[in-house]
Structures are given as C-alpha cells and as structure tokens.
Structure 1
Amino acid sequence: MLFLIVSVLFFSCRATKYVPEEEYLLHNYKIETDVGDFEKKELNEYIKQKPNKKIIFWRFYLSLYNLSKPGKENGFNNWLRRIGEPPSVYNEGLKQQSTEQLTLHMHNKGFYEAEVSDTTYYRKSRAKIVYQISPNQPYRIRDINYFFQDATLAHMVLADTTSNKFRHGELFDVDELQQERVRIETVLRDSGYYAFNREFVYYEVDSALGNHQVDITLGIRNFQTTDSRGQTRTSPHPVYTIRDVYMGTDFDAISLQEGGLGEVVRDTLVYDSIHLVYTGKHNIRPGVVTQKNYIIPGTVYDASDVNRTYRNLSSLSAFRMVDIRFKEVDSEDAMLDCEVLVVPATKQSYAIKLEGTNSGGNIGAAANVSYRHRNLFGGSEQFDLSFTGALENLKEGNVSTDSTQKGPSLMQEFGVEARLRIPKFLLPVKTTQFIRKYNPQTNIRLSYNYQKRPEYIRTLASASFGYEWKGKENIMHRVFPLEASLILTPYKDSTFIEWLEGKYLFYSYEPHFIVDTRYSMVWSNQKPFKNQNFQDIR
C-alpha cells in the first residue's frame, strides 16, 4: 500500500515542472545508421547530452528532484535536489557538438566520407533527437612500411607482428595507429629503453591512391639531446642499466613529496644487492621487501619489472604508500639509480561497532570489537582479531519449547575469530622466486561461536590453513590443504527435536566433525581504483 502511495505521488509530479517556458525536456535520442564495419555501441559515448536516467521505464531521480518545491531552500527540499537529478533541458549547442563528435569519430575509424545529420522532434514540451549516420565507403590499408633511424630497434618492433594493432586490408583506424604507438613504447621500455616514449613514433600516410586505399609508413626517430651550446643532436636510443637500488621503508608522506632520500642522515644496509636505507631499527625484515623486488642492480631497465615491484610492495599490509623513482647517473654509460620509497601504514588499529535490532518485535543489541595488527612479527604479517556478541529478548510465542516458563526469553550469541595473513608460503622449501613472481600468501583462520536459545545450545568451531597466489592476468588461485569444523549441540529441547524431525535443518543441529581440502580459482577483470563494471567467475 505504501509503495502504491509513493508511486502515485511520484508519477503525479509533472516531468517538466522545472523546465523553463519555451524550453523542452530532452525525452530521448536515437542513432540511426546504415550497416558499417564499426562498433555501433561506441557511438553513444559521443553524445554530449543525454536524457534523465531511467529505472526500467521511470525517471526516478528526476521525480525525486521534482518533489522539491520551487523557491524553498530548507533542508528537505535541498536534500531532494541533491539526491535527485535536475531535468535535462534540450540544448541546441550540445546537439551540434554531438553531431561534430560523431563525424570526427567516423573519420577516425576510416569513414572519411561519412555523413552525419540530426533532426529534432518536438511534442508537448518534450524533444527527441534523431542522429542519422551514412558511413559510405571506408578507407582501407593497402601497404605498411617501416623506417628506423636506429636500425637496432627493428628486430624488437617487428619480432611479434601478430601483435601489430593494424594490418593489410583492415580499416584505416586512427585509434589503432595510436594503440600501435603505445605497444611499441611498451616493448622498448621493457627492453632497457628508459628514455623512449611514444612521441618518437610517427606515421606518414599516402591516401592519393584512389579506390579508398592508403599506404602507411611507420617511422621511429632517433634520440635527441641538447649539447652545451644549445644545439640539438640526434643519436641511437640508449639502453639503460640499473646501477644501484635504494629502498627506504620508514618515510612519511611529507618527506615523500619533498624529494625522497634527500640529505637526511640515515643508516644503510646492503641486503641481496639492495641498499636498505633506514633510521633507527628496521620496521620490517629486509628479506621481506627484497623478495618482492624485481629491480635488480646490473640488469637492464624493464618498465614491467617496475610495475611488478610496485604491485608486490603495495600488497604488503605494513605499507600504506609506495613510490618508485629513477635518476640518470652522470656517466658515459647509460645508467640509472633507483629509489624505492615506502610510507608505512599505521601498525595497529581497532574498531567498535554497536547496533540495536528489532526482529518481529524481538528487541536486541549487538556489538563487534575488532583489532588489527599490520606487521605482527616484522614481516608484514596481518593479524585480525574480532569479538562479537548479541542479545535478543524473545517475546512469548516466539519460543517453541516444552517449558512452562511464561514471559520473554533471552537469546545469546558470542563469537571470536582470529585471522593471520602471511605474505609468503609457509613451506619447508625456499620460495624466493615464486614470491617475487606470484605474490603468494598463507592464510590461517580460527573461529568459535556459542549460541544459546531456549530451544537449544550450540557451539561451532572451525579452523583453516591455506595458500593463495596470483596466476596469469586476472586469475587468483586458492588452495586449502586443511579445513576443519566441529559442531556440538549439548542441549536440545524435546519440542525442538520433534520440530526438526524430517527437516533438512536436522543435520545442522547434530554433532559432527568435518575435515576437507578445497581448491578454487577466481577470474576477475576488476581494475583497482577504477569505478567501472566488472565480472567475477569462481
């Protein structure tokens, strides 16, 4: 009934309530196009003005906004406007920008003769836009040539032609040409070319061939430097080697922004060829951070190794922030010094949560106290301990027992759980290379739960020991060699026993001890720190 009232109230609000006179609410838009060799879904990204969002068929957020009263600036009306969505008033300029952007997109995809037009239809203070696209014949790639001023780059760029982003006979797609520049940059920066970037890659396109075909020449310019007299000189691109690696694990965020290691006097320890820089006592064992490091002195610079090192160190619970910097060494040889600067996380924290409950008239309260230590034994081991408790007053009639007791009864539940995450495999064999490559961890968990109701008393205890590690991109492996659970029911009311007979829940209240082994693989394309849709497969 309440839903019906709210729905009637919302729908009764005129959608054009806040649309000025002689203006129109953008009701909808549509893209009509002939068949063409392009992804039609991408076209929506170039529409600069879109109608208000719908939930199924209802512009819910516009309805919320329209519930506010014009000219009223009190808290409730401001709240409605804040969570709602103002009307999308038809804008002729944005329509024109959309048409221009659609035209530019079609050109970038090889449809240089595409025609884009727009038509606006008006009806009862509402506007609908129809964009018509005629792709016409596209331009395709006839021939591809390469020109290298530095011939040593040729074998790396051409080694894997299957990864080339454009090929003979395909559409002359400008976006794919840009992707090829990024691919070449990645290949060369993973091969020691620290100073290389995509701006060294250029294209020459010959479209004067007729028959809607183009010839492409991909070129790579030489490395440019400026001498003491200010003159620009070119030379083959240098291959950089890592000279020294310095790792500081006790920086604060302010020092990180002000220039890294700087001139502050610190102690230095060389461990696994890495210079560990610190003040006072080590906040983390040296072996833990060097095992996560891919940047090794004496090796050629590799941008992917830098990213792996950043990912591995960021995964350690003891660290809050990681920054990796390079400085060119003033020498005849192309060499780099690397600084890995780390800001430690708050070592210990706790949280207390309290809540009240009302379930079918049963009033109760619950509490949760949790404690976390992010560097328990000095190796970035994360320890979590939590205590939970709940009490609920059960009204008469909500309890099924053979007791003659009248009035309310009490439900009690208490639990404790401990978790320990260790950033390596607890195995009797050395796993240094595995740790560096797959970023593994060991997980140990213990829990105990006590439940007491008038019908029964039940205890649940469980323990697990397992490993997890990253496989190929987007894949996580988890294996638990040992999982055990013990359920005991020291008391069950006779009426409750009768009620359980023949039900699936019967075995949940029978004493049993279970030991098992489990393996799972998780695929996910979720990107950290990005607000976008993603998929999980388990």
Structure 2
Amino acid sequence: MKLQPFKIVLLVCLAVFFTSCDAVKRVGENEHLLVNNTILVNNKKVNTERINNLLYQAPNRKLLGIPLRLHIYNTARPNIDSIVNEKINRNPKRKKRLENFLSKKQLDNYLQAKIDFNSWLKKTGEAPVIVNEVKTKKSINQLKAYYFNNGWFNVKASAKTDTLGNKKARVDYTVTTGKAYFVDSLTTSIDSPILDSLYKTQAHKSLLKKEQYKTVTFDNELERITEHFKNSGVYHFSQEYIYFEMDSIENNQKVKVDLQIKNRQVRKQDSAYRIPFKIYNVKDVNIFTTSTYENRNKTITDTVSYNGYNLFSIGKMRFKPKALTDAVFITPNSIFKDISKTRSYRHLSNLKTFKYPDIEYIENPDTTLTANIYLSPLKKFKFGFSAEVSQSDIQTVGFALNPSILMRNVFRGAETLELSAIGSIGASKDASNDGDPFFDINEIGANLRLTIPRLFFPFNTEKIIPKHMFPSTIISLAMSSQTNIGLDKQTVTGAFNYKWIPNKTVTNRLDVFNAQYVRNLNTGNYFNVYETSYDNLNSIAQDLNYNTDNTDLSIPDQTNLFINDVLSGNTSLASTSDDYQTISAISERKDRLTENNLIFSSNYYYTQDRRENLFDETFSIFRFKLELAGNIFSAASSAFGLQKNDNDQYEFFNVAFSQYVKTEFDYIRHWDLGKKNVLAARGFVGIAIPYGNSTNIPFSKSFFAGGTNDNRAWTAYSLGPGRSGSNNEFNEANLKLAFSFENRFNVFGDVNAALFIDVGNIWNVLDDVEDDKSTFTSLSSLKDIAIGSGFGIRYDFGFAVARLDLGFKTYNPALETNRWFSNYNFGKAVYNIGINYPF
C-alpha cells in the first residue's frame, strides 16, 4: 500500500510531536506524576470500574496509550498574561511600530487572542495528576468504608507509593477483608402501638433477609418503612425516628438486628417530650383557583362545593369543579397519604393550565388536617409564530411560515386546544416551463389538536384506569396540500386516542381510530420523481428502438404507452425475458405509489422506559406496537352488500381501503462501563401482513432500511429488499430485522467517539411480490442480512449531540460474489450526519 507524501509527513510530524512531549513538563520538584494505581484485595489484583472509582486519584486518561490531554495541557504556558505583556513591553519601539501598523485596538485583540488560546489549551487539556498523600489516605478510607458497608467488618487497608524515576510514581493499595458477616435475626422495638400494628401488616415485605450484610439494604428498608407509615396516615413521621441496633457475633460472623422506632418528639418552648404517633385524616380540601400575586389582597367572591371539595375564586369560577377535583388526589374525609400530594403536583402540572401549584397542610386541633391547594392560572391564549428559509434538492430557495395558537380551558374542563398552520412557497430547480412563476412550489396545511385531561368516554372508567394513571384523551385533525412537490398530494388525517401511565416506567396509548386519506393529484409526474425507474424504462425502449428516431421517452405519454405495449405483448419482448420482468415490476410499483390511499386503523402502543433520569446510562427501553387496519370498513362493506371493483376490492369514496395487520418490537439496552464508556445495543423486528381488501402494504406503512439511525453503511431507502440490490429511489418492504451494537467512549472534554456494527435488512413476505431475491421464504433468507460497521465522532453541546458516523459495507448481500469487505474503504463509505444518538 502506497502512502501519499502528505500522509507520510503528517505521520512523521505526529510521531515527533508525541515522542518529544515531556509528560512531566509541568511537574514540580519533589512532585511525582501518578502513572498507575494497583489494588490488591486478599492478594488478588482487582481492576473493576466500581473499585477503581473509589480512589480519589486516577492517572491521566490515555488515548491509544498516549496521555493526549496531558500533552495538550503541557503545551500551554503558565502565567501567560505576564509573559505576553513582558514580551511586548520589552521593546517600546517595536510595540509602537505594531500599534502604528495594526492600530492599538487590533494589537490588544491579537495579544488577547494569544491569552485566550492558551486558556483553551488548559481547558481542553488535563493537568498532570500529582501523587497526593492526603488523597491517598482518603482513598484508603474509601476502600475500607466500601468493604465495611458490604459486610466485611474487619477490613484493613494500606497504600504504598513507589517512585519510578523521572518524577513518576505509582500507588499500590492493599486490602484484607477478613470474613464476611451475615444478618442472622431481626427483632423489633416499636414504642407507638399504632406504628407497631402498621409495621406488622407489611412485615413480610421487609428487605432484611438472612444474607450478607449490606448497608444499602438497610437504607432501602428505612425508606420502605418511612414510605409505608407516611402513606398510612402518620403525618409527623420521618426517617430520623428509625434506628437499627446491631450486635455482631465475632466467632461465627453473625449480625443480630433490632429495629427500633421511637415515639414522636414534640418541642414546646424550651422543653421536649415524646408522645405516641397518631393517625391523621384529611378533613377539608380547599382549592384556590386564582392564587396569583396580583390577587393576594383581593376578596374571594365565588365559592363552590363539589364532592366534599371547596373551590374558591376571585371573580366568577372559570373551571368546572370536576376538572380540578379529578386532578387532585387528596380526598376530603380520608386518611392522610403523602403520595397523594406528589400525584396532585404532577397531575395539576400536566394540565398545562396552571403554573406549578402550591400545596400545604394545616394541622387542626382534633388530629385532622386541612389541605390548601393554591393554583395560579396561565393566560388563556398563547400565540406562536416562526419563519424558515430553506434550500433542498428540489428547490433553489423556500420560505415557510408557521403560526400557532394555544387555547387553555376551552370548555372549562382544563382542556387545551392547539391550532397550527403551515404555509410555504419555493422556487423549483427544474421548472418545466420558462413562463411559469418563479415561486412555483407551495404547500399549505392546518392542524387541530384537542387534549382532554381524562378519558372521554360515555361510561365511568375510574375502576379500569384510575386517575393516578394520568389518563388523557387526544383528538386531532390535520389537512395539507402540495403543489409541484412530488405527486402533489392532498392529505387528510384524523385520530382519537387514549393515553395512560400506570407507573413511572410504563406508558400505554390506544388509538381508537386513526384515519388517513391521501390523494395524488399529479400522477403524470411519477417518472420525474422516480428517475431511476425512468432511466431503466428508457434504456429498454432505446434497445428496442421503440422511438424510430431513438429519442427518449416523453413523460408521461410515451412512458405509459410503452409500458402498456410491453405488457400487452405489442413488442418483441417475451414475457419470460428479464427486460419484460423489469418493466412489469416498474409498472406494479408505479401503480402502487400513485394510487390513492384510505387507511382506517386502530393502534396500541406499549412503552417501558427504565431510565432513571437524563444522565442514566444503564437502562433498557422496550416498545411494542400493534396496528389493525380496514376491519371496520370490511365488515361494513359485507354488511351493506357493496360491490367490489375490477381488482376484487371494496371501495369507500371511490378509493380501495387498506386492510392489514402490523406489529413492531423495539428493544434498547445500555450498559455504563464507567469513565464515559457506554455499550449500547438495539434490536428491532417488524412485520406488516396484508389481507382481505389488500395484497400489499401502503407505502407510508412499509419499512425501509439504511440511514443515520439504521444501518449506517447504506443511505436511507437504499438497502434491500433482500439481496435484490434494487436501484429504486425508495426501497421498501413489509418485513424488517435490524440490530445495532455501539461502544461509545470519551476522547477528551466534550468530544466523544464510537465504534459500531449495524446488522439487518428488509424483505417482502406474504404480499404480491414474487421476486425470490426480494422475498423472505425461509430461515435461509437470513443469509441476505446486510452488515455495516464503522466509527463516529460526536460533540456534546449539553442540550444536544452533533454526530458524524462513517459506515462501511462489511457484508453486502446484493453482490453475487465477494460479499465480505468489498470496497471497504473511505471512498465507498457512507457519511451520516445526525443530531443526538441513533438509539
């Protein structure tokens, strides 16, 4: 392999740079650079991430064995301000010449730029880690605490620093754990009779078992007990009343645990005394609906009582009482539950009608509580407006306007109504007529969305889906129309769905119906949009000398005429020839993509997201979707005895409706390996099966492969189906398998990198496609799975991640031979630019 001169020079320069860098350049006299930590536990070397993270000092991070960030830091100059000023002031005449040449302001900016660049080197780099005896002692204590808290009560730890010369050193930690202690028995000493009774009702749920002692288990048990009491009416209880008295038996490493819960401590003036805990009930719940700062001194003028709740307003009550009481989980004349306050906060905030609410409890003399809920309404109307200028493959310039309005409390039930619109115009790059206006592309559309904070249903659904699952109903309607964009579609969509969240990890959504109508107005433009199909068709026509002057087929007249002549047997092509089959496939695809679509479906979505927060990197996400389309229309057609069209299909509004079943399984798993090193994996399986009134799946409901969030060695829509290697602009099918594995790691600062492998493909199955190369016939079709691999560079802005991934075709099923690593080079790589991680 030949290297270009530039590459040779670059490699030599890099080699000279790194070998000439002195890692201890910024290490002072009598100091040592930490180059390695070793941890020996019971004479065995331990190098796990969890144990290493206990140490207060770690060596400078390395990339490919080189402490790159340390070298970057060492290139920065200390005391750069004084150095720059001293150098420029050393020769007043030179300074004066520079000021005359650049001007004083430009010279100051130049000097400041040198200082800023030096600061950037320090910030991007990493200061040398100097061995610090104080931090070493802290590390020893941290190691001892870790093993003690996991049951090794007789643990001993020490450290030894070995100097290695050239101002470098290593630290060796030695840990001797001794034998582990186990929980042997649990007894209780609970002063308050009420607490003792409550504890016994949940004693079987205790986390303390006869197993190795772990402090975290006791912490979790403390939280469990506290939560149980606080949600059982014990208003004044807190964790500080719980103690664990432990007696360890040295000879057999057993721990006897006595759970002690003291009486409530009451302070009165300068004295303190203890009394038994009591159960509190919530007597009254008061909801103040206009608690704004402006209303703080105004008198309440409207009072409403509803189901035991008291609602107050300054001015006429703007809300239906039921809409507010449904969002409040604190119930009048019921036992106090601390979780009811948390749920009320969340549900009231989800209404998007009030600012964050304020809830307080007031203790009454008769061992009851009054709950006061203060609500500050948001403005009824919220207006939005955005504008956009764009450029794309089909237009030279485009302008778009997006006005919107949000209306709160539309029907006095805390409903929100959102109305948005889009209007855009653009100038196409290939206007067909010089007389056409400059702005010959336009799109208009409107979207209406009504959110109801409960299940909109004729019957009470509280027993099936209680309000603590935060049920909601969304009704939406959208319309759009395009001119000179593709086939000039007119689209109308409508949906009615329910959503509920049974717990913090699971979300359910049910689309009772989801209707979509798509009408293509300019089907004659098909071959201008799908140019690859036209090129293949035109090439065959020229081979047959279809036009006597051998000119290209005109669109759409001659293209349609040529297809009809071939399929009608009016040309020399035999029905068994490859060219005939190609034209037949082009015709079928054209008919499918230009036909109008009517889809009336019901969908169910299930999502389980185990992420604790945005920074959690050890979690899993599971998504499931089931979609049934066309069954209602099919049943109605049969019931009313409708006639089928020439293709043996029922029609509604002169459009054959789609009928199919579609399901998807999507699973994502992340493992945090420590030090910003994450292993991520994803698996996706999807299939859509047409039946009844359909022999294929609508294009909008089919699957595609490739792209920045799929198999990154292929561009979007370019992979598959199967091993066909189709050259269509948009390859799609009704079966998809996709699996991805990615190792993400930090390079330095906010710059991260990744190595990845993407596996998958799409196939046709159980539809009207008969091409063996495109269909999934048996498990042997798995040999047509495509494999891509590559690497990526990412920059984390905090609010988003900018991503560049390079994908290489590792196994290409479309090739007849040499499927492995063919054209595996940068010239054939696919560059993917994306925002945030692919999964």
TM-score, structure 2 length as denominator?
0.55
**How far did residue 58 of structure 1 move?**
8.5
Q: Which residue of 1 aligns with 2:208?
A: 166
Q: Which residue of 2 aligns with 1:448?
A: 479
Residues 189-338 of structure 1: pairs in structure 2 closer than 5 A: 189-226=230-267, 230-252=270-292, 265-267=299-301, 268-329=303-364, 331=365, 333-338=366-371
Query: Which of 100, 113, 130 is the equivalent residue of 1:90?
Result: 130
Q: Which residue of 2 aligns with 1:77?
A: 117
- Supply the distance in 2 between the matched residues of 1:350 and 1:57 (Cα, whole angstroms): 56
| 8 Å CA contact retained: 2:425, 2:439 | no
Greater CA deviation, 465-474 or 208-217? 208-217
| 8 Å CA contact retained: 1:326, 1:337 | yes
**How far did residue 177 of structure 1 move?**
1.9
**How far did residue 156 of structure 1 move?**
2.0
Q: Which residue of 2 aligns with 1:513?
A: 598
**How far did residue 358 of structure 1 move?**
4.1
**How far did residue 221 of structure 1 move?**
0.9
- The one-letter code matched in structure 2 to 1:144 is L
**How far did residue 292 of structure 1 move?**
1.7
Residues 392-431 of structure 1: pairs in structure 2 closer than 5 A: 392-395=426-429, 399=430, 410-431=440-461
| 8 Å CA contact retained: 2:520, 2:594 | yes
- Supply the distance in 1 between the matched residues of 2:393 and 2:433 (Cα, whole angstroms): 22
Query: Which of 523, 526, 536 is the equivalent residue of 2:608?
Result: 523
**How far did residue 183 of structure 1 move?**
1.4
- Supply the distance in 2 between the matched residues of 1:135 and 1:41 (Cα, whole angstroms): 19
The alignment-based identity, stated in percent, is 22
Larger RCO, structures 1/2 (Cα 8 Å, 6+ apart): 1
Residue by residue over 1:207-259, the C-alpha shift from the partner in whole angstroms, topping out at 9 and shown as x without a partner, is 2442222211111111222457x54333221111112111122223x68xxxx
| 8 Å CA contact retained: 2:450, 2:476 | yes
Q: Which residue of 1 aligns with 2:489?
A: 458
Q: Which residue of 2 aligns with 1:188?
A: 229
For residues 149 and 482 of structure 1, do their structure 2 counterparts lie closer, same or farther at Cα, with a shift above 3 Å needed?
Answer: same
- The one-letter code matched in structure 2 to 1:337 is T
Point out the structure with max Rg over C-alpha: 2
Q: Which residue of 1 aligns with 2:55?
A: 47
| 8 Å CA contact retained: 1:402, 1:495 | no
| 8 Å CA contact retained: 2:27, 2:130 | no
- The one-letter code matched in structure 2 to 1:327 is I
Q: Which residue of 1 aligns with 2:567?
A: none
- The one-letter code matched in structure 2 to 1:215 is K
**How far did residue 174 of structure 1 move?**
2.5
- Supply the distance in 1 between the matched residues of 2:11 and 2:443 (Cα, whole angstroms): 41
- Supply the distance in 2 between the matched residues of 1:45 and 1:483 (Cα, whole angstroms): 51
For residues 6 and 412 of structure 1, do their structure 2 counterparts lie closer, same or farther at Cα, with a shift above 3 Å needed?
Answer: farther
For residues 271 and 188 of structure 1, do their structure 2 counterparts lie closer, same or farther at Cα, with a shift above 3 Å needed?
Answer: same
Q: Which residue of 1 aligns with 2:144?
A: 103
Equivalenced residues, count: 522
Residue by residue over 1:395-422, the C-alpha shift from the partner in whole angstroms, topping out at 9 and shown as x without a partner, is 4xxx5x9879899985433333222211
Greater CA deviation, 233-242 or 151-160? 151-160
- Supply the distance in 2 between the matched residues of 1:292 and 1:35 (Cα, whole angstroms): 60
- The one-letter code matched in structure 2 to 1:43 is I
For residues 446 and 147 of structure 1, do their structure 2 counterparts lie closer, same or farther at Cα, with a shift above 3 Å needed?
Answer: same
Aligned-partner SS, 1:182: helix
Query: Which of 469, 494, 502 is the equivalent residue of 1:438?
Result: 469
| 8 Å CA contact retained: 2:70, 2:126 | yes
Q: Which residue of 1 aligns with 2:220?
A: 179
TM-score, structure 1 length as denominator?
0.82
Greater CA deviation, 75-84 or 503-512? 75-84
Aligned-partner SS, 1:305: helix
Note the residue ranges of structure 2 that are not aligned, 5 or more in a row: 82-111, 535-584, 624-839
Aligned-partner SS, 1:158: helix
Greater CA deviation, 292-301 or 25-34? 25-34
Aligned-partner SS, 1:103: helix
| 8 Å CA contact retained: 1:366, 1:388 | no
Q: Which residue of 2 aligns with 1:258?
A: none
- Supply the distance in 2 between the matched residues of 1:66 and 1:394 (Cα, whole angstroms): 54
Query: Which of 373, 384, 408 is the equivalent residue of 2:407?
Result: 373
**How far did residue 83 of structure 1 move?**
7.3
Residue by residue over 1:66-86, the C-alpha shift from the partner in whole angstroms, topping out at 9 and shown as x without a partner, is 787763753963884697364
| 8 Å CA contact retained: 2:513, 2:600 | yes
For residues 439 and 432 of structure 1, do their structure 2 counterparts lie closer, same or farther at Cα, with a shift above 3 Å needed?
Answer: same
| 8 Å CA contact retained: 1:10, 1:67 | no
**How far did residue 185 of structure 1 move?**
1.1
Note the residue ranges of structure 1 that are not aligned, 5 or more in a row: 256-260
Residue 339 (str. 1) matches residue 372 (str. 2): yes
Aligned-partner SS, 1:181: helix
- Supply the distance in 1 between the matched residues of 2:9 and 2:426 (Cα, whole angstroms): 34
Q: Which residue of 2 aligns with 1:152?
A: 194
Q: Which residue of 1 aligns with 2:500?
A: 469
- Supply the distance in 2 between the matched residues of 1:499 and 1:312 (Cα, whole angstroms): 53
**How far did residue 459 of structure 1 move?**
2.2
Residue 382 (str. 1) matches residue 416 (str. 2): yes
For residues 43 and 409 of structure 1, do their structure 2 counterparts lie closer, same or farther at Cα, with a shift above 3 Å needed?
Answer: same
Aligned-partner SS, 1:280: coil
Aligned-partner SS, 1:343: coil
| 8 Å CA contact retained: 1:207, 1:213 | yes
For residues 357 and 10 of structure 1, do their structure 2 counterparts lie closer, same or farther at Cα, with a shift above 3 Å needed?
Answer: farther
- Supply the distance in 1 between the matched residues of 2:443 and 2:525 (Cα, whole angstroms): 18
- Supply the distance in 2 between the matched residues of 1:66 and 1:297 (Cα, whole angstroms): 68
**How far did residue 29 of structure 1 move?**
4.9
- The one-letter code matched in structure 2 to 1:147 is S
